[in-house]
Amino acid sequence: MASNRRVLLNSRPQGEPTDANFAIDEVSIPEPKDGEYLSRTIWLSLDPYMRGRMAEAKGYAANVNLGDPMVGGTVGQVVKSKNPKFKEGDYVVEYSGWQSYAVSNGAGVMKLDPAIAPLSTALSVLGMPGMTAWWGLMEIGKPKAGETVVVSAASGAVGSVVGQLAKLRGCRAVGIAGGKDKCDYVVQELGFDACVDYRAAGANLHKELRAAAPKGIDIYFENVGGAVQAAVVPQLNDFARVPLCGLISQYNEMQMNPGPDWRLLLIKRATVTGFIVSDHFNQMDGFWKEVPAAMKAGKIKYREDVVKGIENTPQAFMGLLKGKNFGKLLVQVSDDPTRS
């Protein structure tokens, strides 16, 4: 008999998450009540924000309770329904978390048509990461032709889209990534003008970034923080804009380390705006008009890093926080009938 395999938050990390912070259990598959449906999880998205949900300290959204499944965006297929809006066989993008089956009343759920785009893209370029890239760059960065846009974690699900959108706006796109293979991908496949390997650069990161962005930086799309941020801030142009999306290098830190001299932001009259894309999901008309068509036309490319098996989710997530993934990190929880 099939069962519902789940990954639970077993304890709260002190620094980097470990295997001990997670527990895997198997329970009976839940039964939908009137107005609900049961879905089988096919794809699970792994994202840096999940580290904050494991903490005890209050964040911008509710943290996961000990003993509960970890949270996360998913793509599933309806296998049983008592909700007239969903029928057996429908594909849905939802928020079922780290488990192989889930029950939902349909609130906040969107149906997917696999004939339009691969199901997994609902968790990457056509999902939250793509929307994050579009909103941060367009609404906060407000790029103009001829400007220089620098994006950290440039080979990732968000950064890769930021750079490609910047190129479509006539900007110079400079990526920062860890490793020659990632930088080669960013330039050769995604079409960035340059990419700086922060691991190889080491203490020369500031110098190499200056060579890649000789006219200074007008927009810095921040995903990383730490030493990368420290190298970028002094090179911001006057009136630069900084969409502050994430600080992945700092998520495991138990106390704040010294960072760049933020007085420079005052001197340069820069605008730094932190944002959470879920605040803007109802303001995505521009995203839907531009990004799906650009992806279909090959103007926006994407890459997936797929791990198979719900039991491998903890290790994959820990690797994500260390930058081991290459592209959008997904867990394939079960077979995708739309893929050959």
- Pick the range with the lowest mean pLDDT from 148-152, 258-262, 300-304: 258-262
Instruction: Give the DSSP per-residue string, 127-159.
Output: SHHHHHHHHIIIIII---TT-EEEEESTTSTTH
Note whether residue 338 is domain-resident.
Answer: no
Looking at the chain, the whole-number percentage of residues with pLDDT higher than 70 is 97
Strands 194-197 and 172-177, how do they pair?
A: parallel
Helix locations, the chain, DSSP H: 50-53, 128-135, 159-168, 180-184, 198-201, 205-212, 226-232, 263-267, 285-296, 313-320
Average pLDDT over every residue of 30-34: 96
141 plus 97 within the same structural domain:
no
Q: Could you tell me if residue 165 is inside a domain?
A: yes
**105/8 same-domain check:** yes
288 belongs to a structural domain: yes
**DSSP-assigned states of every residue in 270-281:** -EEEE--GGGGG
Same domain membership, residue 210 and residue 158: yes
Dig out the tokens for 329 from the structure.
Answer: 């990190």
Rounded distance between C-alpha atoms, residue 187 and residue 340, angstroms: 30
Instruction: Output the pLDDT for position 79.
Output: 97
Give the pLDDT band of residue 254 (cuts 50, 70, 90). Answer: low
Task: Identify the CATH number of the domain in which residue 176 sits.
Answer: 3.40.50.720
Q: Is residue 328 part of a domain?
A: yes
Higher pLDDT: 268 or 197? It is 197
Return the pLDDT at 253. 60
Burial 20-48 (b: 16+ CB within 10 A, else e): ebbeeeeeebeebeeebbbbbbbbbbbbb
Tell me, what's the pLDDT at 268?
87
Are 284 and 223 members of one domain? yes
Q: What are phi and psi of 301, to 5 degrees?
A: -105, 160
Same domain? 208 vs 324: no
Residue 59 has pLDDT above 80, yes or no: no
> In terms of C-beta density within 10 A (0-12 exposed, 13-18 middle, 19 or more buried), how is residue 314 classed?
buried
215 plus 146 within the same structural domain: yes
39 and 185, same domain (yes or no)? no
Q: Which residue has the tokens 């719900």?
A: 310
Question: CATH number, domain at 29?
Answer: 3.90.180.10
Q: Backbone phi, then psi, for 66, in 5-degree steps?
A: -60, 135
Is 120 domain-assigned?
yes
Assess whether 213 and 283 both reside in one domain.
yes
Verify that 132 and 120 share a domain, yes or no. no
Q: How many residues does the chain have?
A: 340
CA distance linking residue 62 with residue 78, whole number of Å: 27
Strands laid side by side in the 194-197 sheet: 194-197, 172-177, 148-152, 217-221, 236-244, 271-274
Q: What is the pTM of this model?
A: 0.90
Q: Is pLDDT at 256 greater than 60 in this prediction?
A: no
Asked if 248 and 320 sit in the same domain, the reply is no
What 8-state DSSP symbol labels residue 297? T
The answer to whether residue 42 sits within a structural domain is yes
In a domain, 340, yes or no: no
Structure tokens at 65: 């309770």
93 and 143 inside one domain: no
Instruction: Quote the number of domains for the chain.
Output: 2
Residue 106 belongs to what domain range? 4-124+304-332
Would residue 250 count as lying in a domain?
Answer: yes
pLDDT tens digit string along 196-243?
999 999 999 999 999 999 999 999 999 988 889 999 999 999 999 999
Residues 225 and 272 in one domain: yes
* Closest alpha carbon to 225 in 125, 304, 134, 323: 323
* Between 1 and 192, residue with greater pLDDT: 192
Q: pLDDT class for 180, splitting at 50, 70, 90?
A: very high
Residues 94, 74 contacting (CB under 8 angstroms): yes
